[in-house]
Structure 1
Amino acid sequence: MSTSGPLPTALDGITADWLTAALSVRAPGTVVRSVEVESVIWGTATKVFLRAEYETCPPDGPPAALCLKGGFDDTMRAVAGIGYQVEARFYRDIAALLGDAVPRCWYAAEDPAGNQGLVIVDDLRDTGVVFGGPSVRFDVDQVAQGLATLASVHGRTWQRRGVGSLDWLTVGSMLFRPVVESFLTPAHWDAYQQLPQTGAFDDALRDRDRVDRAVHLLWASDDAAPLSVSHGDPHVGNTYVPADRVPRFLDWQTTCLAPWSDDVAYFLVGALEVEDRRKHEEDLLRHYLDALASAGGEAPSHSEAWDAYRRHHLHGLMFALCPPEMQPAEVCRQMGDRYATAALDHGTLALVLGD
């Protein structure tokens, strides 16, 4: 499902001929008569919504409504180009492991020389799904189901088993970690302490030097932990919910090898209102550990898992520092509040630093 060579980096490169060549990799016999760019969502990755008219298309071929994802903004491609390539590799090599828990993919290709990666998936907007976000209230059962999906991936690739051994998988995300480093620079950090996004930070969380040291200590600890395939960024905004109400996951640009607790803490805390999280997080963690063991992972004891969960709220804390090019400011405020409150509830900073 992957091709090599130059890929379009501007919208005018999305032609009927190019789309025919792309779709024919997965669906031989597909010929596109015309293609229209219906709309574009600019962000960390650009989402280009296409409407294709086919000259010929096999019965099990692509639908008319498609979503093309990748780097069509030169500034963002310079920052996130590796993420676009990683997402293409995920759909090429790993997505089949998740079945219908991810969007159906028709094309995945990378162009390292052009710092570009592209995927074509179904336009989920035409299927009646609800896209996740901090304003979309998830109930506890839905969070448990999402955790079970993550446990399935973690367990089946535990200690680099199966597709966890792929040579392109890095320990820690090649996209996320450099972005965090940029957030922790004094200029960026100081600017964001004045915004509502960090309104839930206390004095300890505003101490840039301590947070920076804690983040690097956490990464060092993570790199020595049991590793499995990780989504790397499974916040609620990277989910969608079809008719069965079971959350699925989008945006696999940060796919990497990481400890289970990174995905779990990031998804669980971001998906629930603060009081719901406080009430149910221990039971949800137990549910995840059972699912992990069932999927073939070596689940730690509950006390070990609880400490690992408490340590990993630093990842979510970075949401409060996201610039508007990556996430809308109000989303960052809502998510920043959830993650900062969890970090304070669990004494995350002191736990990681050993205070």
Structure 2
Amino acid sequence: MAASIETRIIEAVSDLTVEFLRTALDLPSITSFSTTCIGTGQVGDCYRVALQYSQGAPSNAPATVILKIASRDPRSRASGLSLGIYERETHFYTELAPSLMKTTDCLAKCYHSAFRTSTGAFTLLLEDAGTTALVGDDIQGATLEQAQVAMRELGRLHAAMMMSPERFAWLVQDSPVSQPLVRQLFAGFAERYRDQIDPGHLDICRRFVASFGEYMEKRTEPGVCEMGIIHGDYRMDNMLFTPGEGSSKPKLMVVDWQLITAGPVAADLAYFLGCSLKVEDRRQWQDRLLRTYCNALAEAAGEPVMTLEICKREVRMQAFFGVTMGIVSSIMAARTERGDQMFMTVMARHCELVKDMDSLALLPPPDDNGLMPLLPELQDEQQHEPGPEKDWNESWYFDFVDEAQGVAGWIRLGLTPNRGGNWYHAFITWAGRPTVIVSDFAAPAPDNLLLNTADITASHEVLKPLEKFRLTLTARGEAFKEIAESLYGKQGTSSKVQLDLLYETTGVPYKYRITPRYEIPCKVTGTVTVDGEIVSIHAVPGQRDHSVGVRDWWGMEWAWSAFILSNGQYVHTTDLRLPNAPSMSIGYVQRDSSIQEVEAITCHEAFDDDGLAEWLTMNIRVMGIAEELSVVVTPKSHTPLKLVNDDGRVTVLERVWGEVCLPNGEKGVGWFEWNRNTKE
């Protein structure tokens, strides 16, 4: 295989050249080529490359090869990068596949593998199974012969991939799916497929989700399962069968190694049995197929590894792997008619496997502890080492509202070291005065969170971790009487701003589960000065947060809120709106140090022609509380910010401070934000 040289990456099929192919394949006799698109997946594109040679080319030179590259769609690429699937697959072909080929012949030969961590671009140049290869079909299901071949090759693969953590540490990682996350995804799954799924199967899913956290711990306990490196998506749709010659069995090629990870080897077994076999076929063939697997495992390992009875016991425990995949994949993938048909077909099969194996009896009691909100730790307040990704970001956000004096604002320091400059923004609104904007998209790296530019001097200091934070700002900004003008490149009038604010925690700090971020309700005390006019604020409501990681503002949308009600109740919500997927709900409701997590949010809003919010309603369902919290928000002042990516994508962060009203007359106040991807 050609070396993984980061500069040798094909961003688009139009970048492919004869010179690249000659070098990657070590075939100088290549004279030209043509490409045919054979697949555009959720996060990657695949092409068959037909090669033409000069006379004298080696007789074994391939007629075609497969080119696999990252999706050209920015959202899909960002998703593939954040999920780590590009990196896993390229690492598989670089670090693991060469040794596996000594044991199995079900892998495509890799001619070139490269990955760029900063952008997510990757290139795989692979052996082609050929146009005569039969692509597996999950819905149709495997024949007995295909299933036997799949089990035999899986046994050989697992024998070669038995756990070696020193060598493959990059595969040992925690599951990204937590109890609250799978609960949220299942809520979307149940809503979407309620009329299509068998009620008994839906009940199996519901009982499993309730015990998910404890089950995930139990399934990997010592003595419960044989651990190894698993494919993670071992099913017919990821298999190519080439007809054998004469009476020989078909040859299998296993593709799509994007979900490879360390885990119980029986998870691959249970997933194939539950996904790729019709229920009656699986019931008839199951023991025979598991025996084929055990024999192949022993033959490749050189000694018995597990008996048929142990294998069946482990499959029984791992039967829920397919249920998990069915819930997560059906919600996260783009919805299609065939996709719905496939998800319902295989979910029914997985649930029947659970029933036949009596796997429900293995579930721990419902996991109430897994539903407890997470708390940040003291060290989370510290500045973090930057990651290599282009969109890696670390940000500190602060807001405040003094409703009585009509003064409100927000401040954000965003470190974006791989974008050539850092972001600093502050917006101050004051009743009867223009809104003042301080904005810099190319600020230097701050020293110990002290930022100094020609127009901005700002400090950000943790006085007591998770309890007290002070920020100061002296800056020259622009004042706008009509805030929408700031979105169209118009200039405001010069204005000087000074802030000296102390944030003191007044509630329970809340840590997100799906991304490194925490939110803290606060009271804010200090001074706000605009063009020499000073207003003092004392213990007014505010919020601060701190987040770290890859942030693609142009790849997703959201609605965010943080407000306090007159009864002392703090509310924070994020309605995360992912492309081609149901929204995800994050947040809390808390009072008197008692915090409960948000389960679901339904938002409705309207915007004017400039994209400024006109109104917002939210129905917030809280875990453990039957009655929803219904909120109506009336914007009082707008602070929109336009973000333009270097690839031309545009998003607008529309922020408002607003008044909150509940049906019972309860009032409140806070900040609300929408990230809305636009075309220009």
C-alpha displacement at 1:131, in angstroms?
0.5
Aligned mates of 1:104, 1:215 — CA distance in 2: 37
C-alpha displacement at 1:308, in angstroms?
0.8
Equivalent position of 1:148 in the other structure = 152
Aligned mates of 2:312, 2:208 — CA distance in 1: 26
CA contact under 8 A between 1:27 and 1:58: conserved in structure 2? no
Q: In 2 relative to 1, CA 124–150 (structure 1 residues): closer, same or farther, beyond 3 Å?
A: same
C-alpha displacement at 1:351, in angstroms?
0.8
Equivalent position of 1:235 in the other structure = 235
C-alpha displacement at 1:26, in angstroms?
3.8
**Which segment is superposed worse, 293-302 or 342-351?**
293-302
Q: In 2 relative to 1, CA 247–34 (structure 1 residues): closer, same or farther, beyond 3 Å?
A: closer
Equivalent position of 1:330 in the other structure = 341
CA contact under 8 A between 2:211 and 2:363: conserved in structure 1? no
C-alpha displacement at 1:238, in angstroms?
0.8
SS at match of 1:254: coil
Aligned mates of 1:75, 1:334 — CA distance in 2: 29
Equivalent position of 2:308 in the other structure = 302
Deviations 1:26-85 (A, max 9, x none): 425265545445454232432233345557995267545332223213323323332222
Structure 1, unpaired ranges of 5+: none
Q: In 2 relative to 1, CA 185–139 (structure 1 residues): closer, same or farther, beyond 3 Å?
A: closer
C-alpha displacement at 1:314, in angstroms?
1.5
Equivalent position of 1:45 in the other structure = 44
| Higher share of residues assigned strand | 2
Q: Structure 1: which amino acid aligns with 2:361?
A: A
**Which segment is superposed worse, 48-57 or 193-202?**
48-57
Equivalent in 268, 275, 281 of residue 270 of structure 1: 275
SS at match of 1:113: coil
Is residue 102 from structure 1 mapped to residue 113 from structure 2 by the alignment?
no
Equivalent position of 1:213 in the other structure = 213
Q: In 2 relative to 1, CA 194–354 (structure 1 residues): closer, same or farther, beyond 3 Å?
A: closer
Work out the number of aligned pairs and report it.
344
CA contact under 8 A between 2:90 and 2:124: conserved in structure 1? yes
Aligned mates of 1:157, 1:117 — CA distance in 2: 24
CA contact under 8 A between 1:317 and 1:336: conserved in structure 2? yes
SS at match of 2:210: helix
Equivalent in 352, 357, 360 of residue 346 of structure 1: 357
CA contact under 8 A between 1:223 and 1:258: conserved in structure 2? no
Q: In 2 relative to 1, CA 329–118 (structure 1 residues): closer, same or farther, beyond 3 Å?
A: farther
**Which segment is superposed worse, 308-317 or 80-89?**
80-89
SS at match of 1:205: helix
Equivalent position of 2:76 in the other structure = 76
Q: In 2 relative to 1, CA 70–227 (structure 1 residues): closer, same or farther, beyond 3 Å?
A: farther
Deviations 1:119-143 (A, max 9, x none): 11234352x0110112344222331
Map 1:1-355 → 2, pairs under 5 A: 1-6=2-7, 7-12=9-14, 14-16=15-17, 20-21=19-20, 23-29=22-28, 31=30, 33=32, 35-53=34-52, 58-59=57-58, 63-72=62-71, 73-81=73-81, 82-96=84-98, 97-98=100-101, 99-126=104-131, 128-160=132-164, 166-171=167-172, 177-178=175-176, 180-181=177-178, 184-196=181-193, 199-200=197-198, 201-207=201-207, 209-218=209-218, 220-221=220-221, 225-244=225-244, 245-296=250-301, 298-321=304-327, 322-323=329-330, 324-325=333-334, 328-353=339-364
Q: Structure 2: which amino acid aligns with 1:314?
A: F
Aligned mates of 1:339, 1:293 — CA distance in 2: 27
CA contact under 8 A between 2:110 and 2:127: conserved in structure 1? yes
Aligned mates of 1:190, 1:240 — CA distance in 2: 35
Q: Structure 1: which amino acid aligns with 2:28?
A: G
Aligned mates of 1:39, 1:138 — CA distance in 2: 22
Q: In 2 relative to 1, CA 64–246 (structure 1 residues): closer, same or farther, beyond 3 Å?
A: closer
Q: Structure 2: which amino acid aligns with 1:190?
A: A
Deviations 1:231-277 (A, max 9, x none): 22111211111112243311111223323211111122222110111
**Which segment is superposed worse, 193-202 or 94-103?**
193-202
Task: Identify which of structures 1 and 2 has the higher relative contact order when contacts are C-alpha pairs closer than 8 Å and 6+ apart.
Answer: 1
TM-score, normalised to structure 2's length? 0.45
CA contact under 8 A between 1:9 and 1:71: conserved in structure 2? yes
Name the larger-Rg structure.
2
Q: Structure 2: which amino acid aligns with 1:100?
A: D
Aligned mates of 2:365, 2:294 — CA distance in 1: 25
**Which segment is superposed worse, 80-89 or 50-59?**
50-59
Aligned mates of 1:336, 1:353 — CA distance in 2: 21
Moved over 6 A (4+): none
TM-score, normalised to structure 1's length? 0.82
Aligned mates of 2:283, 2:55 — CA distance in 1: 54
CA contact under 8 A between 1:238 and 1:251: conserved in structure 2? yes
CA contact under 8 A between 2:220 and 2:263: conserved in structure 1? no
CA contact under 8 A between 1:31 and 1:57: conserved in structure 2? no
Structure 2, unpaired ranges of 5+: 245-249, 367-680
Aligned mates of 2:234, 2:335 — CA distance in 1: 15
Q: Structure 2: which amino acid aligns with 1:325?
A: A
CA contact under 8 A between 2:215 and 2:364: conserved in structure 1? no
Aligned mates of 1:30, 1:317 — CA distance in 2: 50
SS at match of 1:138: coil
Aligned mates of 1:300, 1:354 — CA distance in 2: 29
C-alpha displacement at 1:310, in angstroms?
0.7
CA contact under 8 A between 1:239 and 1:247: conserved in structure 2? yes
Q: Structure 1: which amino acid aligns with 2:76?
A: M
**Which segment is superposed worse, 105-114 or 24-33?**
24-33
CA contact under 8 A between 2:186 and 2:209: conserved in structure 1? no
Equivalent position of 2:541 in the other structure = none
SS at match of 2:272: helix
SS at match of 2:46: strand
Aligned mates of 1:185, 1:310 — CA distance in 2: 21
Q: In 2 relative to 1, CA 34–225 (structure 1 residues): closer, same or farther, beyond 3 Å?
A: same
Aligned mates of 1:286, 1:207 — CA distance in 2: 31
Q: Structure 1: which amino acid aligns with 2:117?
A: P
Q: Structure 2: which amino acid aligns with 1:46?
A: D
Q: In 2 relative to 1, CA 242–209 (structure 1 residues): closer, same or farther, beyond 3 Å?
A: closer
Q: Structure 1: which amino acid aligns with 2:265?
A: W
CA contact under 8 A between 2:271 and 2:322: conserved in structure 1? yes
| Higher share of residues assigned helix | 1
Deviations 1:265-318 (A, max 9, x none): 112222211011112212322232222222226523433322210111221113
Aligned mates of 2:269, 2:39 — CA distance in 1: 31
